[in-house]
Amino acid sequence: MEPRVATTQEVREFYDGVFAAGEIRDNELLYHWIVRLLGARPGERLLDVACGSGWLLHAAARAGLATAGLDISPKAVEKARAFVPGAEVVAGDGERLPWPDASFDYVTCLGSLEHYLHPDQGVREII
């Protein structure tokens, strides 16, 4: 018997439950460190794929970057929009980004790609 594969809707509902109960995040210093590692300059554009509650977006915005985020969970998107009001945050699938190619100077995806139904497609979108 073949193992059952989750649907996008099931994944969305799972993460809505996670974000309704709390959030997923690392130490806040990690997000600031990542922004510094990028060498990003104020005014450059950063997209965080699977942005969750927006912690990396927050760090990037504090460094002067224009920020955008995408998450499969509408609940996470709601939290990110409240946390980083200046960011463009949308609900969507990281395997099908809604922006044209080359729209950003930096694209991040922290600790999420392994949860995609088709991680290879997610990598192609990030590239």
Predicted local distance difference test score (pLDDT) of residue 72: 96
Q: In this predicted model, what pLDDT tens digit does every residue of 28-65 receive, in sequence order? A: 999 999 999 999 999 999 999 999 999 999 999 999 99
Enumerate the β-bridge partners of residue 90: 70
Q: In this predicted model, what pLDDT tens digit does every residue of 2-30 receive, in sequence order? A: 778 788 899 999 999 999 999 888 889 99
The span from the CA of 21 to the CA of 33, in Å, is 27
Predicted local distance difference test score (pLDDT) of residue 57: 98
Predicted local distance difference test score (pLDDT) of residue 68: 98
The pLDDT confidence band at residue 114, using thresholds 50, 70 and 90, is confident
For tokens 């990690």, name the residue: 30
